[in-house]
Structure 1
Amino acid sequence: MILKKLCRASKRSIMGIMALAAVSSMVISGCGSNKGTVSETSTQAQPQSAAAENNEGSAQEQKVMKLAATLMPDTSPIKCLTDMSVKLKDETQGAVDIQIFPASQLGGQRDFVEGVSMGTVEMCIVGVGALESFEPRFSIYGMPFLFEDNDHLYKFYDSDINQKILQDFCDQKGMRVIGLFNEGFRTVWTKEKPVESLADFKGLKLRVPEVPIFVDMFTTLGCNATPLPAGDVYTALQTGMIEGVELPVSSIVGGKINEVVKYETVTNHVSGAMVVLINEGYYQSLTGEQQQMLLAAVKEASDADRANMVTDTEKYEKVIAESGIQQIIPSEEMMAQFREAMNGVSEKYFKDVIDQETIDQIRAMAE
C-alpha cells in the first residue's frame, strides 16, 4: 500500500516537472513565435510572447539600453533618436532608458551588429550593408542605382517585399529591425583631383565601408578601394592614406570632412538606408506595453528623420558651398558609363539573391 502511494506521488512529480518544462520553453521563445510586423510603420502592439507576459509583474524594473552608432551627434538620425530617448524615458517614468553612443564610441558597424547578435549591445543603428553577411537579401538596399529618390526608398521600406526580409531576419538571426532611417544618397568626394569622368576613378585611393559590395563597386571602376571605419575617414584624408570617400552629405558635414576635401561628384549611386536593430531576447524581456511604446517612439523618430531630410539637406548644401567645395554634376554620358560598369557588380551580388521579377517590382515602386 505504501509502495503504491509512493508511485502515485512520483508520477505527480514527473507530471509537474513536465508542465514546468513546457512553460519554460514558452518563456525563452523569440522571433520565431512572434509573426507580427517588424517595420517602423507598425505602431500597434506586437503580440506578447510568454516572456513578455511573464514580465508584466516587473513593469517597474528599469531597462537600460545602449544604442551604438557611427553617425555624428548632429546628424538627423542621431538627433531624432536622442529626442526619442528623452521622451521615452519621461513617458515610462524612467523604466526605459535608451543611452545613445554616437561617433563610433563603441566601435564600428560590424562590431555593433555582432554585439546586438550576442546581446552585449542592446541596440544599434547601422547602414543596411552591415547586415549582408547575416542576411544576403539586405544587399538589395545597396544595389547600385536601384532607387531613384528618397520617396522611392520609403515606398520600398513599407513594401511586402521588405517586410518579408525583416521578419525572416528576425526569426533566423535573433535581431529585430524596429526602425528604418535615411542617411541620404551617397556621392563621391575627393581631396586633390576632381572626378569628372570614369577615367578619373583609375588609381584613386577611395575609402569605402567595410562591406564587400562597396569594395567591388569601386574596384570595378579602377579605384584602390580602401575599407575603413567611418570614424577614421577624417584622419585618413589628412594624412594622405586615402584621396577620397563616398558618403552622403550629412556624414560629410557631420564629420567635418568638408574641411579636408575640395570636390564633390554628384553620383547618387546608392541610397543611405539605415536600420535600428534590437537584440530579440532583450526585446522580449520588455513588457507588452514597453514594446508598444518603444515601437511607437521609433516610428515617431523615423518620421521626424524623413522630414529633416528635406530641410537638413538644404542646410548641408549651404555648408558645402561656404566651404568652397566644387560640385561636379556628371554628364549623361558619364552616368551611363557608371551604370554600365556597375552591371557586372549587380550580376555578381544579386543573381542568387533576388530574381529579375522582384527587381522590376521594386523599380516600379518609383512610378
Structure 2
Amino acid sequence: MRLFSNWRTTAVAALAAAATFSAIPAGVAAAATTLRISHTTAESMQQGSHVWAVVFKEMVEDRTGGEVKVQILGANAAGGEREQLQKAQTGINQMTINSEILMPSFFKPAQILGIPYLFRSDAVAWQVLDGDFGKEFNDAWRQATGLRILGVMNAGFRSFFNGSKQVQVPGDLKGLKIRTGENQAHIAMVRALGGNPVPIAWSELYTSLQQGVVDGMENPPGLAFAMKLHEHQKHLTLDRHLFSIHAAMINERTFQSLTPEQQAIVYEAAQTATTAARATVLLSERQALKDLEKAGLEIYAPTAEQYEEFRSLGRPPVEEMVRKDVGDEWVDKLLQGIDAAEASVGKP
C-alpha cells in the first residue's frame, strides 16, 4: 500500500496513518472518475488546505483502487477564490477548499462566520462547528449553493499585520489602510476598530503590500508566513479577532453520481483529512510565530484588558450589521452554540 509512503515521518502523517479505516469495498464503476480539487494556499505540507487535499487524494485513490482519482490544483492554479467557488458550483472543477471570506456572496447567512471575537479557543470553535450548529449550517449551505461541505478546517486565528507601527490598542489602527477580503463583516470590523479597510482579492494581496497600496492586512500568522506576505510587514498584533475557517466542498451532483461505496470512502477520507489538516495548522501556527520573529517582525500580544477593548469596539457593530442583513435566527443559534461549548470545554 502506498498510502502516506512519501511523508510517513511527519507528525501529520502519523496522525493520518493512525486513523482507523473501515473495510468498505469499492464499487464497480463503468469508468474512472476524476475529482479536481482547488485551493488558494501554498502547496506545502505546512498548510492545512494542502494537507487536506493530499490526504484525501491518497486515501480515495487507494481505497477505490483507482476508480476515483483526485487532481490537486493548489496555490490559485484554478483562479481566484470566487472563481474557484463558481467552478465547483458549475462542475468545471468538482471540489474546492475555500475560506469563509467569500461564502456570504453565495449564501448570505454565512456572514455570521465573519463576526469578530466569537471564538476564544480552537476547542470551542470545533465543538460549535462540528456540533448541531455546524450540521445545520452545512445543510443550509448545500441547499443554497449545490456544494456539500465534507470537512471544516482552519488557517489559524486572524490577527493584524502592518508595516508602519506597533498596534497595541484599537486607536493605533487609526490612519492605517488594512487589506480585508471581499466580506462586509470583515470590512465593518476594521472600520469599527478605527482602521481604513481596503478590500483586495487574495491573489492580489502580495503585490498590494509590496507596492504600498495598503499598510497592512489581517491574516493568520502561519498562512501569512507560508505565502511570504510578511516580507513587506514589520509588526504583528495577536488580537486573534477571527477564527479563519476553510471548508472542503464537493459539487452535490458529482457526489450523487458516485456509487454508495465510493461516497462512503469519500466521507471517510474527508474525516481523516480534516483531522490531519487541523493538526497541521495547530503546529504550523506556533512555528510561524518563531519564524516571523526570526524574520524581523515585532510581535505584540495584547493584555487581557486590551483584548477586551478590541472586542468591545469591534464586535457589537458587526453583529448588529449581520443581524440586520440576515436576521436574528442564525446569529442566535451561533451564539447559543458558543455558550454551550464554553460551558463544556471552559474559557481559556
Specify the TM-score bucket, using the shorter chain as the normaliser: 0.7 to 0.9
* Equivalent position to 1:359, from 322, 328, 335: 335
* Equivalent position to 1:299, from 271, 276, 283: 271
Q: Is contact 2:40-2:81 (8 Å) kept?
A: yes
Runs of 4+ residues over 4 Å off in structure 1: none
Q: Give me the whole-angstrom Cα distance separating, in 2, the residues matched to 1:165 and 1:181.
A: 15
Alpha-carbon shift at residue 364 of structure 1 (Å): 2.7
Q: Is contact 2:112-2:331 (8 Å) kept?
A: no
Alpha-carbon shift at residue 83 of structure 1 (Å): 3.1
Partner of 1:139: 111
Q: Deviations over 1:76-109 (max 9, x none)?
A: 2212321321332233222212111111122222
TM-score, length-normalised on structure 2? Answer: 0.84
* Equivalent position to 1:64, from 34, 55, 64: 34
Alpha-carbon shift at residue 325 of structure 1 (Å): 0.9
When Rg is computed on C-alpha atoms for both structures, the one with the higher figure is 1
Change (3 A) 1:357 1:289: closer
Change (3 A) 1:291 1:236: same
Alpha-carbon shift at residue 358 of structure 1 (Å): 4.9
Q: Give me the whole-angstrom Cα distance separating, in 1, the residues matched to 2:189 and 2:333.
A: 23
- Identify unmatched segments of 5+ residues in structure 2: 1-20, 344-348
Task: Map 1:23-34 to 2 at 5 A.
Answer: none
Q: Give me the whole-angstrom Cα distance separating, in 1, the residues matched to 2:197 and 2:31.
A: 48
Partner of 2:17: none
**Amino acid aligned to 1:337:** E
Q: Is contact 1:73-1:254 (8 Å) kept?
A: no
Partner of 2:318: 345
Q: Is contact 1:147-1:363 (8 Å) kept?
A: no
Alpha-carbon shift at residue 249 of structure 1 (Å): 1.2
**Amino acid aligned to 2:261:** E
Q: Is contact 2:128-2:337 (8 Å) kept?
A: no
Q: Give me the whole-angstrom Cα distance separating, in 2, the residues matched to 1:172 and 1:200.
A: 40
Q: Is contact 2:188-2:317 (8 Å) kept?
A: no
Q: Give me the whole-angstrom Cα distance separating, in 2, the residues matched to 1:336 and 1:314.
A: 23
Change (3 A) 1:307 1:187: same
Q: Deviations over 1:336-358 (max 9, x none)?
A: 22212221111111351435465
Partner of 2:3: none
Q: Deviations over 1:179-217 (max 9, x none)?
A: 111111101111122212222212211111111111111
Alpha-carbon shift at residue 173 of structure 1 (Å): 2.6
Partner of 1:332: 304
Q: Is contact 1:249-1:316 (8 Å) kept?
A: yes
Percent of matched pairs sharing the same residue: 27
**Amino acid aligned to 1:70:** T
* Root-mean-square deviation over aligned CA pairs: 2.1
* Equivalent position to 1:284, from 233, 256, 263: 256
Task: Map 1:84-123 to 2 at 5 A.
Answer: 84-123=56-95
Alpha-carbon shift at residue 245 of structure 1 (Å): 0.7
**Amino acid aligned to 2:302:** P
Change (3 A) 1:361 1:310: closer
Q: Give me the whole-angstrom Cα distance separating, in 2, the residues matched to 1:350 and 1:101.
A: 36
Number of equivalent positions: 314
Partner of 1:222: 194
Alpha-carbon shift at residue 114 of structure 1 (Å): 1.8
Alpha-carbon shift at residue 166 of structure 1 (Å): 1.1
Q: Give me the whole-angstrom Cα distance separating, in 2, the residues matched to 1:304 and 1:293.
A: 17
Q: Is contact 1:44-1:292 (8 Å) kept?
A: no
TM-score, length-normalised on structure 1? Answer: 0.80
